[in-house]
Each structure stands twice: as structure tokens, then as C-alpha cells.
Amino acid sequence: MAPARHPANQARQVQRRSCELLARAVYKLCLIQVAVEHGLCVVDLPARRRSNAPLHQVERLAIYLAVTVFDLPRRSVAKAARVGRSSACRSCHEVEDLREDLATDAMIERLGAQLGPPA
């Protein structure tokens, strides 16, 4: 007979799983939106090619937008993006550094407004 799980543990597991599923959906939404903004083919997105610099840039922006616009935990977004938590943190820091360029900042603001809740 299997031991009964404590209700609080079950609730935490359900909450964690729900957050992971939400993060996966939000990350994919951000990934598609950023790819369209960059004029990349959405069909190529599932193929993980680290040598493809434009695709890497799209992934970094999608991670950043999922974390900042939707206020999701970096750990959940990292899992959705299939990267480590430290890579997701590094992506966010790199995009923050890119925002010093006014054109890039305007593009990120536009994407955030398109993805975020209506004002």
C-alpha cells in the first residue's frame, strides 16, 4: 500500500505543474511573436540549432519577455525553453544590456505591449 500524500504537498505539486504549463505556453507565444517580428519562419523554431545566431537572439528575447511581461519565475521559463536557470538569467541580463540601444528598446517595448495585458 502506497503512503498517502500530504494535501499541502499535493497542492504545491499542482501549483508547480500549473506554473510550468503556463510558462511553456507563454514562452511559445513569446517565441512566435519575436520570430514574426524578426521575419523568421515559425516552422524552424522547434529545431534547436545553437549555431544559428538569429534564432538564438529570438530565444533570448522570448525568455526575457516571458519573465518580464508575464512575471513568470525564471526557473519555469528556463524549463520551458529547455535551458538551464543560469542561461535564462544570462539571457535576461543580455537583453537588458541590449536595451541601451534606442531602436532595440523600442522594439522590445512594442513586443511587450503586443504580448501584455491591454492598458
What is the C-alpha to C-alpha distance for residues 111 and 98, in angstroms, rounded to an integer? 15
Q: pLDDT digits over 40-87, tens only?
A: 877 766 555 555 667 788 899 999 999 999 999 999 999 999 999 999
Identify residue 28 by its one-letter amino acid code.
K
Q: pLDDT digits over 79-115, tens only?
A: 999 999 999 999 999 999 999 999 999 999 999 999 9
The DSSP letter of residue 38 is H
| Helices 85-98, 53-68: inter-axial angle, 10-degree rounding | 90
Question: Spelled out in words, what is the top-level CATH class assigned to the domain 8-115?
Answer: mainly alpha
Look up the pTM and report it.
0.83
| Helices 7-38, 102-115: inter-axial angle, 10-degree rounding | 130
What is the C-alpha to C-alpha distance for residues 6 and 62, in angstroms, rounded to an integer? 36
Closest to 108 in 3D by CA, of 98, 117, 93, 118: 98
